[in-house]
Structure 1
Amino acid sequence: MLPTSTDVLVVGAGPTGLATALTLARRGVEVTVVDQLARPPETSRAAVVHAYTLEVLDRIGAAAPLVAQGVRAPRFTVRDRDRVLLAVPFHQLPSPFPYALMVSQSVTEAVLTERLADLGVQVRRSCRLTGLSRSVDGVVAQLDGAPLRARFIVGADGLHSTVRQLAGIGFTGPSEEESFVLADVRVRSALPRDEAALFLARSGPLIWAPLPDGVVRLVAAVPTAPAEPDLAYLQALLDERGPERRPDRLTEVLWGSRFRVHHRIADTFRSGPVLLAGDSGHVHSPAGGQGMNLGICDAVALGTSLADVFAGGPETLLDDYSARQRPMAEDVMSFAAGLTRLATLSPARRPFRDVLLRLLGAVPPARRQIALRLSGLSHRERQPS
Structure 2
Amino acid sequence: MNAEVLIVGAGPAGLTAAVVLAQRGRTVVIVDAQPEGANTSRAAVVHSRTLEVLEPYGVAGKMAAHGVHTPVFTIRDRDKVLVPVPFDGLPTAYPYTLMISQADTEAYLLARLEELGGKVIRPARVTTVEQDADGVTAVLDDGERIRAAYVIGADGLHSTVRQSAGIGFTGGTYAESFVLADVRLTGGVPRNEVILYFSPAGLVVVAPLPGGLHRIVATVDEAPKEPGIPFVQHLLDTRGPEAEPARVEELVWSSRFRVHHRIADTYRQGRVLLAGDAAHVHSPAGGQGMNLGIDDAVHLGEALARVLGGEPGDLLDAYAATRRPQAEQVVALAGRLTALATAASGRRVLRNLALALAGRIPAVRKRLAWQLSGLNRRQPMASVARTPSSTSGVDSTGSADSDSRANAC
TM, length-normalised to structure 1: 0.97
**Secondary structure of the residue that 1:234 maps to in structure 2?**
helix
2:120 to 123, 127, 140: 123
Q: 1:44 touches 1:104 (CA, 8 Å); kept in 2?
A: no
Q: Which moved more, 1:337-346 or 1:150-159?
A: 337-346
| Counterpart AA for 1:19 | T
Does residue 69 (structure 1) correspond to residue 75 (structure 2)? The answer is: no
Q: How does 1:193-212 map to 2 (within 5 A)?
A: 193-212=191-210
2:276 is aligned to 278
| Cα pair 2:173 2:259 within 8 Å, conserved | no
Name 1:154's counterpart in structure 2: 152
Mapped to 2, the partners of 1:14 and 1:66 lie a distance apart of 16
CA distance in 2: counterparts of 1:147 and 1:345, whole angstroms: 50
2:222 paired with 1:224: yes
- Choose the corresponding residue for 2:164, options 156, 163, 166: 166
Query: 2:115 matched to 1:98?
Result: no
Offset at residue 65 of structure 1 (A): 0.7
1:171 is displaced (CA, Å) by: 0.7
What residue in structure 2 maps to residue 191 of structure 1?
A: 189
Which position in structure 2 is the counterpart of 1:110? 107
- Of 292, 311, 314, 1:313 maps to 311
Give 2:361's aligned amino acid: V
| 1:213-252 equivalences in 2 (<5 Å) | 213-252=211-250
Mapping of residues 47-66 of structure 1, within 5 Å: 47-66=44-63
Matched residue type, 2:124: C
Give structure 2 stretches of 5+ with no counterpart: 387-409
| CA distances 1:305-348 after superposition (whole Å, capped 9, x unpaired) | 00010111111000000000100001100000100111122233
Q: Distance in 2 between matches of 1:42 and 1:345?
A: 32
Match of 2:109, as an amino acid? L
DSSP-derived class of the 1:203 partner: coil
**Structure 1 residue 43, shift from structure 2 partner:** 4.9
| TM-score between both structures, scaled by the size of structure 2 | 0.91
In structure 1, what is the Cα distance between the partners aligned to 2:367 and 2:173?
Answer: 32
Check conservation: 1:43, 1:106, Cα contact below 8 A.
Answer: no
The CA deviation at 1:202 is 2.2
Task: Tell me the equivalent position of 1:290.
Answer: 288
2:324 is matched with 326
Q: CA deviation at 1:366?
A: 1.7
Partner deviation per Cα, 1:159-218 (whole Å, 9 max, x = no partner): 010111111111111355541010000010222101100001223211101001110000
1:83 to 80, 83, 98: 80
Question: Which stretch shows the higher mean deviation, 91-100 or 373-382?
Answer: 373-382
Q: Distance in 1 between matches of 2:41 and 2:193?
A: 20
Where relative contact order (Cα < 8 A, 6+ residues apart) is larger, the structure is 2
| Structure 1 residues not aligned, in runs of 5+ | none
Distance across 1 between alignment mates of 2:128 and 2:248 = 47
> Which deviates more, 277-286 or 133-142?
133-142
CA distance in 2 between counterparts of 1:323 and 1:107 reads: 31
Mapped partners of 1:235, 1:357: distance in 2: 27
What is the aligned partner in structure 2 of residue 372 from structure 1?
Answer: 370
Partners of 1:224 and 1:176 in 2: CA distance: 12
| One-letter amino acid of the counterpart of residue 213, structure 1 | G
Q: C-alpha displacement at 1:142, in angstroms?
A: 0.8
Distance in 2 of aligned mates of 1:164 and 1:42: 20
Pairs within 5 Å for 1:13-28 = 13-28=10-25
User: 1:178–1:285: 8 Å Cα contact kept in structure 2?
Assistant: no
Deviation at 1:382, TM superposition (A): 4.0
CA distance in 1, matches of 2:341, 2:175: 17
Match for 2:158: what amino acid? H
- The secondary structure found in structure 2 opposite 1:235 is helix
Does the 8 Å contact 1:74/1:91 carry over to 2? yes
Distance 1:291 1:115 in 2: 22
- Stretches of 4+ moved more than 4 A in 1? none
CA distance in 1, matches of 2:103, 2:305: 27
Cα 1:170–1:102 change in 2 (3 A) is same
Range that drifts further, 16-25 or 172-181: 172-181
Deviation at 1:42, TM superposition (A): 6.7
Alpha-carbon distance, 1:5 to partner: 1.2
Number of corresponding residues: 382
Secondary structure, aligned partner of 1:174: strand
SS in 2 for 1:207: strand
Structure 1, residues 72-100: CA drift from partner, whole Å, max 9, x if none? 00011001001111111100011110000
Does the CA contact (< 8 Å) of 1:72 and 1:194 recur in 2?
yes
Deviation, 1:353, is: 1.7
2:175, 2:221 within 8 Å by CA — same for their partners in 1? Answer: no
Tell me the residue number matched to 1:362.
360
Separation in 2, partners of 1:379, 1:347: 35
Using the TM superposition, give the Cα deviation of residue 127 of structure 1 relative to its aligned residue in structure 2, in angstroms.
Answer: 0.5
Identity over aligned residues, as a percent?
54
Distance in 1 (alpha carbons) for counterparts of 2:97 and 2:46: 6
